[in-house]
Chains A and B, each alone.
Chain A
Amino acid sequence: MKTLVTLPLVVPLAAAALSLLMRRFLVAQRVLGITAATASLGIALALVVRVDGTGPAVAALGGWHPPLGIALVADRFAALMLVVAAAALLGVLVYAVGQGRVDTAMPGFHPVYQVLAAGVALGLLTGDLFTLFVAFEVMLIASYVLITARAGAAHVRATLTYVVVGLTASALFLATVALIYAAAGTVNLADLAGRLDGVSPTIRAALGWLLFMVFGIKAAIFPLFFWLPDSYPTAPSPVTAIFAGLLTKVGVYAMIRTQTLLFPSDEPSQVMLALAGLTMVVGVLGAIAQSDIRRILSFHIVSQIGYMVMGLGFFTVAGLAAAIVFLVHQIVVKTVLFLVGGLVEDTAGTGNLAKVGGVLHRHPLVALLYLPAALSLAGLPPFSGFVGKLALVQAGFAASQAPVVAVSLAASILTLFSMAKIWAGAFWGQPTGEDCRRPGAVGLAATGALVVASLAIAVVAQPLLGLATRAGADLLAADVYRAVVLGG
Chain B
Amino acid sequence: MSLVLALTAGALFAAGTYLLLQRLLTRIVVGLGLIAHGANLLLLGAAGRPGAAPIITEGGAAYSDPLPQALVLTAIVITFGVTAFLLALAWRSWALTRSDAVEDDLEDRRIARLGRSGG
Contact = CB atoms under 8 A, between A and B. Distances in A.
A40 B111 CA distance: 42
Interface of B: 1, 13, 20, 25, 28, 32, 35-36, 38-40, 42-43, 45-46, 48, 67-68, 71, 74-75, 78-79, 81-83, 85-86, 89-90, 92-93, 96-97, 102-103, 105, 107-108, 111, 114-115
A182 B46 contact: yes
Interface string A274-294: 000000000000000110100
Nearest to B68: A181
Interface in A163-203: 163-164, 167-168, 170-172, 174-175, 177-179, 181-182, 187
A164 B71 contact: no
A209 interface: no
12 contacts: A130-B71, A137-B82, A152-B96, A160-B90, A164-B86, A167-B83, A171-B36, A174-B40, A175-B38, A175-B42, A178-B68, A295-B107
Looking at A148, A163, A178, A179, the one whose CB has the most chain B CB atoms below 10 A away is: A178
A298 B115 CA distance: 19
A174 B45 CA distance: 13
A178 B105 contact: no
Contacts of A158: 105
A230 B108 contact: yes
Contact of A167 (B43, B86, B111): B86
B32 A168 contact: yes
B28 A164 contact: yes
A2 B68 CA distance: 28
Contacts of A133: 75
A153 B99 CA distance: 10
Nearest to A171: B35
A159 B89 contact: yes
Contacts of B97: 153, 156-157
B29 to A, nearest CB: 9
Contacts of B46: 178-179, 181-182
A394 interface: no
Contacts, number: 105
Nearest to A230: B105
Contacts of A153: 96-97
Given A157-B105, A181-B68, A182-B1, A171 B39 contact: yes
A134 interface: yes
Nearest to B48: A182
Contact of A156 (B43, B45, B83, B96): B96
A447 B20 CA distance: 40
Interface in A277-334: 289-290, 292, 295
Contacts of A156: 89, 92-93, 96-97
A388 B67 CA distance: 42
A289 B32 contact: no
Nearest to A182: B46
Contacts of A290: 107, 111
- Ordered nearest first, which 7 A-B pairs have the shortest CB separation? A182-B46, A178-B42, A178-B43, A153-B96, A181-B46, A174-B39, A175-B39
B39 A168 contact: no
B67 to A, nearest CB: 8
Interface of B is mostly: helix
B45 A178 contact: yes
Nearest to B112: A289
Contacts of A230: 105, 108
A161 interface: yes
A168 B102 CA distance: 15
Interface of A: 130, 133-134, 137, 140-141, 144-145, 148, 151-153, 156-161, 163-164, 167-168, 170-172, 174-175, 177-179, 181-182, 187, 230, 289-290, 292, 295
A174 B79 CA distance: 11
A152 B95 CA distance: 10
Contact of B93 (A157, A177, A179, A187): A157
A177 B89 contact: no
Nearest to A184: B46
A425 to B, nearest CB: 16
A2 B10 CA distance: 43
Contact of A289 (B92, B93, B102, B115): B115
Nearest to B96: A153
A167 B33 CA distance: 10
A182 B45 contact: yes
A98 B46 CA distance: 50
A163 B86 contact: yes
A24 B103 CA distance: 37
Nearest to B41: A178
B102 A134 contact: no
Nearest to A180: B46
A69 to B, nearest CB: 12
Nearest to B100: A160
A146 B58 CA distance: 51
A167 B32 contact: yes
B26 to A, nearest CB: 12
A9 B13 CA distance: 35
A68 to B, nearest CB: 10
Contacts of B43: 174-175, 177-178, 181
Nearest to B107: A295
A160 B111 contact: no
Contacts of A181: 43, 46, 67-68, 71
